[in-house]
Each structure stands twice: as structure tokens, then as C-alpha cells.
Amino acid sequence: MYMSVKRKSVLTKISLYLFYIFVSVFFLFPLLWTLSLSFKTIPELYRIPPSILPDSFAFDNYKYVIFQVNLLSGVWNSIKITLGTIIGTLAITIPAAYCFSRMKFRFSKPLQFIILMFQMISPLVVVVPLYRYFSMLNLLNSHTGLICIYIATSAPFQVWFLKSFIDTIPKELDEAAVIDGCSRPQTVVKIILPVIAPGIFSAVLLIFILSWSQFIIPYILIDTPSKMPIATMLVNLQSTLSQITTHYLASASIVAILPTIILFVFLQKYIVAALTAGAVKG
């Protein structure tokens, strides 16, 4: 009896480890293959059978995409747009989150749910009319216009997320400040913000990764290559490069995904907290 229980538990462990290996291979293999391609030379690309590892880990392909294709301008554009989106989104969602958490007024709940609904609407639906407005206003190829739309698309979730953080602060804390003569904006800055700092950090990471990945909006609104963020630049590169330059495409993809992967791997605690907020009871 004892043996069989023990054997059963060993078997469970072995099958769990096998499953872990399967999961790791399934999720890592595509990335590792792209990484390997990104170091290969043209003769290596066409070698039959394909070699798993590149002959050398020279950074020639990376140098090419960064300096010849000017991928760095895409990275730089993405950074600018992303930072603008982070600042703008926080600026409009923190007051709204505070308001929904602390003030009682009619239609507060329905309004919150309507706002959440916006999050589910495909950006394509809104970007079609915006394309027409922007071309009339000469805002096509403008980062400011792009940032405004990004703010509108990332705000709905962030209002909910930040509100859930403010909800955890006891009301007495900020009401005491109001009684002591703080105005509400002062209360938010002095009392609320320091307490919800970890939540804001999660929000920043989430907005960063989602803005970095945005595609359909810049794909439609931006056609000047020097203005493109990294995501649309990749597709642009894909359509201009031929089969023979797969290794460049691979290294460009690695450059594009590296920032978000690094953020995710090292700061996943904060990101996971944001991703599960709302769906799972604290």
C-alpha cells in the first residue's frame, strides 16, 4: 500500500516534469529559432538540412538592420509614442479612478461599465473615421494624433485597474486630509498617489507593453517610414525584403521584441497583478 502510493507520486512527478519540458519547448522553440536565424549568413539560410545553431554569433545582421534599415528610428518612435501614451493615460485616468472610487453620484456604476465596454471594441472600427478626420486636419503621420488614440484605447482598462487600487485605501485616510484643509487635488497627490504607487507602476508597465504592440492604428494612420513605430516598420520591412533576407527580418524581430520581453521577465510580478485584476477576487 505504502509503496504503491509512493510510486504513484513519483509517476505524477515524472509526468509533470515531462509536461513542463513540453510547455517550455513549445513556447521557447519559435523564439530560439528566430534568434538562431538572426545570426545566420545567407549560405547558412539555404543550407540543407538547416543547422540548428548559427556558425558564429556575429552581430553583422543586427548592425545591418540597425544602421542600414534604420530600425533604430522605429524603436525611438515607439519609445516616444509609448511615453506620451503613459503620461497621457495616467493624467486622465487617475482623476477618473479617484472620482469613481470616492464620489457618490447617479449613473456612476453604469458609466463605469460603459467605459469598460470601450475596451472590447476593435480599434479598426474607430480608426476608419479617424483616418478621414486626420487627413482633413493634416494629422496623418503625426505622433500627437497617434498618442491621443492610444490614450483613448488604453484608458478604459486603466480606470478600472487604478480604481480597484484606490478602493483598497481606507476612506478615513483621505477624508482626514480634506478635513485638515487639503483640497481634493492635493489629497490625491499627497495621500492617494504614494499609497497606490505599486499599482501605478503596474499600470505603466501594462500601458508600455500594449502601446509597443499596437499595430492596426499606426498601420493605417502612418505611411512615412521615418515616422513609423517599430511594429509597422517590421511589416514594412517584411514586404520589402525578399526570401533571401530572412536573416535580417529575424534580427529585426528580435530587436522589436527584446524590450517587452525583458520588461516582462524581470517585472512579471507587477504585470501579472494588473492582468488578473478584476477577474479574480483579491
Partner 1 sequence: MTKQISSSTKNESMHKKNVISRSNQRPFLWLLPLLSFLFLFFLLPCIDVIRTSFTNASMTSTDYKYTLNSYIRVFQDPSFLNVLWITLFFVAVSVVFQFVFGFAIALAVDHGEKKNMYGTVLTRTISLISWAIPGVAIGIIWKLLYSESQSGILNYLLTSMGFHSIAFLTNPFLALIFMTLANVWRGTAQSMILLYAGLKTVSIEVIEASDVDGAGPFRKILSIIVPSMKSVIMINILLNIINTFNTFDMIMSLTGGGPGRSTEVLVLSSYRTIFQQLDLGKGSAIAVVLLVINIVFASLYIRANREEN
| Site for partner 1, residues 25 to 54, rule: CB under 8 A | 26-28, 30-31, 33-34, 37, 45-50
Q: In whole angstroms, what is the distance from residue 128 CA to residue 145 CA? A: 14
Q: Does 93 bind partner 1 (CB under 8 A)?
A: yes
Q: Does 251 bind partner 1 (CB under 8 A)?
A: no
Q: Does 228 bind partner 1 (CB under 8 A)?
A: no
Q: Does 60 bind partner 1 (CB under 8 A)?
A: no
Q: Does 64 bind partner 1 (CB under 8 A)?
A: no
Q: Does 279 bind partner 1 (CB under 8 A)?
A: yes
Q: Does 235 bind partner 1 (CB under 8 A)?
A: yes
Q: Which of 2, 120, 194, 224 binds partner 1 (CB under 8 A)?
A: 120
Closer Cβ to partner 1, 39 or 219, answer by number: 219
Q: Is 70 helix (H, G, I), strand (E, B) or coil?
A: coil
Q: Does 130 bind partner 1 (CB under 8 A)?
A: yes
Q: Which of 54, 74, 123, 199 binds partner 1 (CB under 8 A)?
A: 123
Select from 203, 213, 209, 205 the least CA-distant residue to 123: 213
Q: Which of 6, 7, 11, 24 binds partner 1 (CB under 8 A)?
A: 24
Q: 143 Cβ partners below 8 Å, 6+ apart?
A: 77, 80, 81, 84, 227
- Alpha-carbon torsion (26, 230, 146, 126), positive or negative: negative
Closest distance between partner 1 and the C-beta of residue 6, in Å?
13
Closest distance between partner 1 and the C-beta of residue 55, in Å?
14
Rounded to the nearest 10°, the torsion over CA 91, 93, 97, 98 is 10
Q: Does 198 bind partner 1 (CB under 8 A)?
A: no
Judge contact between 63 and 252, C-beta under 8 A. no
Count of CB atoms within 10 A of residue 132's CB?
A: 9
**What are the counts of helices (DSSP H) followed by strands (DSSP E) for the chain?**
14, 0
- Alpha-carbon torsion (46, 48, 53, 54), positive or negative: negative
Q: In whole angstroms, what is the distance from residue 224 CA to residue 181 CA? A: 52
Q: Does 173 bind partner 1 (CB under 8 A)?
A: no
Closer Cβ to partner 1, 33 or 57, answer by number: 33
| CA distances from residue 148 to 60, 87, 153, 216, 222 in whole angstroms, order as listed | 38, 11, 9, 15, 14
Q: Does 105 bind partner 1 (CB under 8 A)?
A: yes
Q: Does 195 bind partner 1 (CB under 8 A)?
A: no
Q: Does 10 bind partner 1 (CB under 8 A)?
A: no
Q: Which of 55, 60, 175, 223 binds partner 1 (CB under 8 A)?
A: 175
| CA distances from residue 144 to 125, 138, 140, 180, 276 in whole angstroms, order as listed | 20, 12, 10, 40, 31
Per-residue binding letters, 146-165, with partner 1 (x by CB under 8 A): --xx-xxx-xx--x------
Judge contact between 166 and 102, C-beta under 8 A. yes
Query: How big is the site for partner 1, counted in residues (CB under 8 A)?
Result: 103
Q: Which of 6, 7, 23, 58 binds partner 1 (CB under 8 A)?
A: 23
Closest distance between partner 1 and the C-beta of residue 184, in Å?
7
